[in-house]
Amino acid sequence: MKTSAYILGTLLLLSNLGYAQSEDEPKLEINGFVRNFTGVLLAPPNEYSIIQNTLNLEFRLQSDKFALYANPYYFQYPNKADEFRLREAYVDIYLDKFDFRLGKQQIVWGQADGVFITDIVSPLDLTDFLMRDFNEIRIGVNAAKINYYPSYDHSFELVWMPSFTPGVLPEDGSMWRPPVDFAAPPTFDNSNSGVPFNLESSEVFLKYSMSKAWADIQLMGAYTWDDAPAMHVTPIAPPDPAAPGLLIKPEHHRLALAGMSFNTQVADFVIRGEGAYYFNKYYQTADPTATDFLVEKNFINYVVGLDKTIGDWKFSTQFIQRVIIDYDEQIKENEVDNLATLLISKSMFRETVRLEWFSYHGLTTNDALMRIRGFYYPMDAVSLELGANIFTGTEGMFGQYNDNDMVYARIKYNF
């Protein structure tokens, strides 16, 4: 109720400003979409994986010197509680060499598609795993963002987030909830799962960008929190010594990273890449001498991608690798994890039909997610999407969802 009142207040504020200044330069634009998303699992008894109706609104009041923007959305479900939230709400101020953005905002970094290497400013809402559109997966964060443009092809971006916004995991009972893998029955204690709401706990991100005709290059650094909480494990003495248990205390820890990204065109190919060195990530270990069965390790994560267009066909592929530095064999994750993506897309009939294949391939875990879909645009602003999400493998990020193969339809009207 409080959220609804806040959103309503924001909308009224925007509407009033638009009305009050209608004779001046700023103008209010209202856009959005309505959408039905219905999916059904392929495995009997063919349960619905999702039935979701969406109203997404975008309010923008913009002039040369400032802008106000709000993006409330409403998810209606027949089988669970509805969601009415504000994805973004911010103020932009444009000066000669500076841009300021204050408020709740999605911040997107990096060059990769569908993977998150340096794109870690906005945490992820994985309620439906990766099934949502990427602009709906990123969670808006409360932040002050300052962009400084000393020249047309160089810029600096500083992001300060006064408070930590955690990622969202699938809820208990969800088909997307990852299976818990502990050696003994766990008891969860969430008393340390929060991050203090104070200045000391704020997060800072800095990026330098150079944009030339021959290449775009970014260098970035961050002092943030790990969105994924570390699981501090303590054996507990149960009443029955024959049935030992584990006390699990999720806790977020600081994470620092330094990275870079680039893109350039060579012949008819666009080559993209990004990589980051992460400091002090907590990994679970089987080493009984490790405190809470956790060890701190640095790791490298990078991606290299290649894009090519041939007529109406578009091809894109990426190779992603994550390497844990100074690896210990008792760490539960693999030392090296390799992933690849493939995108093939074709437009036809004057762009009224588009077919798309996008797949993730876990090269280390031998699993995959294949997203096959077709779009039909019978008229402007209306799209009909039919698709299938197919999981293969038995382990890994995608193999764990092998029972979640589905087909779905989405009908969307933009206004």
Residues that bind other proteins (CB under 8 A): 31, 33, 62, 94, 99, 106-110, 133-135, 147, 149, 152-153, 155, 211, 213-214, 216, 263-265, 267-270, 272, 307-312, 347, 350-352, 379-381, 383, 414-415
Dihedral over alpha carbons 360, 363, 367, 369 (to 10 degrees): 0
Nearest approach, Cβ of residue 193 and other proteins (Å):
29
Nearest approach, Cβ of residue 278 and other proteins (Å):
21
E-only strand ranges, 170-253:
186-188, 203-211, 215-225, 230-236, 245-251
Nearest approach, Cβ of residue 301 and other proteins (Å):
19
Cα–Cα distance, 408 to 191 (Å, whole number): 39
Cα–Cα distance, 24 to 13 (Å, whole number): 17
Cα–Cα distance, 345 to 219 (Å, whole number): 31
1 vs 213 by CB, closer to other proteins: 213
43 vs 108 by CB, closer to other proteins: 108
Nearest approach, Cβ of residue 94 and other proteins (Å):
7
153 vs 395 by CB, closer to other proteins: 153
135 vs 190 by CB, closer to other proteins: 135
Nearest approach, Cβ of residue 81 and other proteins (Å):
26
Query: In this structure, what token pair is assigned to residue 232?
Result: 């501090």
19 vs 152 by CB, closer to other proteins: 152
Count CB neighbours of 27 within 10 A. Answer: 12
188 vs 269 by CB, closer to other proteins: 269
| Residue among 212, 211, 216, 316 at smallest CA distance from 269 | 316
∠ CA 122-127-132 to the nearest 5 degrees? 75
81 vs 213 by CB, closer to other proteins: 213
- What are the two backbone dihedrals, phi and then psi, of residue 2, each rounded to the nearest 5 degrees? -65, -40
Amino acid found at 344: I
Nearest approach, Cβ of residue 335 and other proteins (Å):
31
- What are the two backbone dihedrals, phi and then psi, of residue 13, each rounded to the nearest 5 degrees? -60, -45
183 vs 381 by CB, closer to other proteins: 381
Query: In this structure, what token pair is assigned to residue 40?
Result: 């059904």
Count CB neighbours of 403 within 10 A. Answer: 10
Nearest approach, Cβ of residue 106 and other proteins (Å):
6
Contact 100, 92 (CB under 8 A): yes
Nearest approach, Cβ of residue 15 and other proteins (Å):
19
Query: In this structure, what token pair is assigned to residue 61?
Result: 């009041």
